Amino acid sequence: MTTSIARRYKTNDKGTFGEYTASTRWPIIIQNSIDDITAELAKNSSQGDYKKQGEIIKQELIKYRQELLDHIPLRKFTQEECKIANVPLSFNEYLDSHKGVTWNNVEWLFSEIYLYRRINVMFQLQPLWKHFDIFNSLKQSTFKASLYGVIELALRYQSLITKFDSIANDNDKEILEILFKEFVEISLWGNATDLSLLTNATLDDIKSIQGAKAREESESKILINDTKKAWDTLIKLQGSNSRVDFILDNSGFELYADLMLASFLLHTKLANKIIFHAKDTPYMVSDVMLKDFDILLEDLKDRSFFNIDPNSNDSRALDLFADNIKKFNVEGAIEVRTDSFWTNNLDYWNLDPSETKYHGAELHKDLLNSNLVIFKGDLNYRKLTGDRKWAHTTSWDDAIGPLSSNGITLLSLRTIKADVLVGLPEGLNEELSELWEKDHPGHGSWWRSSGKWAVICYASS
């Protein structure tokens, strides 16, 4: 490290998105959970144990929301909670070393992860609710509302898939690289993507001047773009025994877009093994759990979920993609795993041989077998950089600490939605803050939490 280690963002850092999240967004998230469990209980009119246990959870959530509003000190998990709900002891170790921290004066990264762990414990303590995902209803409704984008992308895929093999076999690296960049961008932006990237999906259009202009426009909001470095890594391995891992972020459309990228990599032999790493508990509202992979494939095949004509080309396009992914999964080319490390409070500097208590060393050893590890989304970026108050011109290698030199080849695809951001040229943060301030007086720095800009950051040792 050539830079002193900055402290982490806290929930009382004035004017930050973290402060706003803790004071405003978290109580709303818990209230939404209260509303959702109320709706679930209303579906079950019986007075059996399921309803009784659900009422206990509801009352716990109500008390929990008040705890946040009253800025109560964060409490340790009890021995019973740790045992029944499999709570990693790292949470209590943190609280032992940060005694007396309150909701409005605590490191943002820790407290946000702790928030969701506490919610999960409430469900784990009630046997009939252990497998209930309090966020599932929102995940499903959000994906359902993405119908237009889902179909549009499926149609693009349908028209391209017959060309994947010929592109790979003809060794047309120009087309292959363009498509790689575009599928990476679709995965980057999720349901905010510009689907015109794959306009008409003809190879001539992709190579055209108009196609180049469309790509240039789409890339204008990507402040750091290391896609070429990832491409150079994978093209060298094309046709060999190569593996790509995804540390997943959101379910629904974003997972759908990630699967699009994965399918492209497999069809074009840029990878022959894809491993998706999902969460083991309901987490950050929309994060992918193991079950969400199967649910998404079921949704794509269910004409009552996406209300379209089962005899239409739209329907055939959805079926084609879902069947492709299912086949890859059955054959072992796509695998979905989970590990408790992804939902504990440790940042990713702990993906290192030195972390021997909470699977950091085990995961590090496994990820060394991957040719490219793609970290999706904002939270994963925060964990990569430690969610620290780095100067925005701090180098990416400095900000990710051991990960710049411990052997993992990684690519962070991040739509910027939080305060931490590194690797910018001198003056760019100030320029964009001034621009954002014009329409958002008093919140110029919030351009970094608007989701309007993105970064694609690569590291390899």
What integer best gives the mean pLDDT of the chain?
93
Asked whether residue 384 carries a pLDDT value surpassing 80, the answer given is: yes
For 426, phi and psi rounded to 5 degrees?
Answer: -55, 130
Q: How many CA atoms lie within 13 A of 127 on its CB side?
A: 1
Range of the domain at 40: 17-134
Are the C-beta atoms of residues 454 and 188 closer than 8 Å to each other? Answer: yes
119 and 186 belong to one structural domain: no
Tell me the pLDDT tens digit for each residue of 37-57. 999 999 876 679 999 999 999
Are 96 and 181 in a shared domain?
no
Binning pLDDT at 50, 70 and 90, where does residue 445 land?
Answer: very high
Q: Please count the other Cβ atoms lying within 10 Å of the Cβ belonging to residue 5.
A: 13
Distance between CA atoms of 111 and 382, rounded to whole angstroms?
13
- Domain membership of residue 7 (yes or no) is no
Q: Are residues 245 and 202 in the same domain?
A: yes
For strands 410-415 and 454-459, give the pairing.
antiparallel
228 inside domain: yes
Q: What is the pLDDT of residue 212?
A: 61
In a domain, 313, yes or no: yes
User: pLDDT category, 191, cuts 50, 70, 90?
Assistant: low
**CA atoms of 167 and 267, how far apart (whole Å):** 10
Of 110, 134, 158, which residue constitutes the final position of a domain? 134
Residue range 15-25: average pLDDT? Answer: 96
| Domain stops at, among 134, 163, 179 | 134
Instruction: Say what the pLDDT of residue 199 is.
Output: 46
Question: Residues 195, 251: one domain?
Answer: yes
CB atoms under 10 Å from CB of 340, counted, come to: 15
Shared-domain flag, residues 200 and 106: no
Q: Which two tokens stand for residue 88?
A: 């990693």
190 Rama sector, left if φ>0, alpha if ψ -120 to 50, beta otherwise:
left
How much is the pLDDT for 167?
Answer: 74
The values of phi and psi at residue 208, to 5°, are: -70, 165
Amino acid at 430: E
**Contact between 27 and 69 (Cβ < 8 Å):** yes
pLDDT at 202: 58
Residue where the block lists tokens 């925005």: 392
Of 76-80, 163-167, 285-289, the range with the lowest mean pLDDT is 163-167
Q: pLDDT category, 139, cuts 50, 70, 90?
A: very high
pLDDT at residue 216, rounded to an integer: 72
Q: φ and ψ at 274, to 5 degrees? A: -120, 130
Q: Given a cut of 50, is residue 195 above it in pLDDT?
A: no
Lowest mean pLDDT among 180-194, 238-252, 389-403: 180-194
Average pLDDT estimate for 77-103: 98
Tens of pLDDT, residues 392-408: 999 999 999 999 999 99
Check if the beta carbon of residue 198 is closer than 8 Å to that of residue 211.
Answer: no
Q: Using one digit for the tens of pLDDT, what is the confidence trace for 314-339?
A: 999 999 999 999 999 999 999 999 99
417 and 278 inside one domain: yes
Residue of 382, 397, 403 whose CA lies nearest to 448: 382
pLDDT at 211: 54
Please tell me the predicted confidence (pLDDT) of residue 207: 57
Bridge partners (DSSP) listed for residue 336: 276
Split at pLDDT 50, 70, 90, the class of 2 is: low
**Final residue in a domain of this structure, among 78, 107, 134:** 134
Helix pair 90-97, 108-124: axis angle to 10 deg: 130
Q: Answer whether 346's CB lies under 8 Å from 220's CB.
A: no
What's the domain count of the chain?
2
Residue 91 sits in a domain whose CATH number is 1.20.930.60
Percent of the chain past pLDDT 90, that is, above it, reads 86
Phi-psi region of 86 (alpha: psi -120 to 50; beta: other; left: phi over 0): left
Residue 216 lies in a domain: yes
Range with the poorest average pLDDT among 200-209, 213-222, 334-343, 352-361:
200-209
Radius of gyration for the alpha carbons in the chain, expressed in angstroms and rounded: 22
- Lowest average pLDDT, out of 18-27, 202-211, 248-257, goes to 202-211
Amino acid at position 195, single letter: L
| pLDDT tens, residue by residue, 106-132 | 999 999 999 999 999 999 999 999 999
* pLDDT of 411 above 60: yes
Task: Indicate the pairing of strand 372-376 with strand 243-247.
Answer: parallel
* 249 and 208 belong to one structural domain: yes
What is the residue type of 340? S
Q: 1 falls in which pLDDT band (50, 70, 90)? A: very low
Give the separation between CA 132 and CA 125, rounded to whole angstroms.
12
Does 113 share its domain with 224?
no
The answer to whether residue 309 sits within a structural domain is yes
112 with 196, same domain: the answer is no
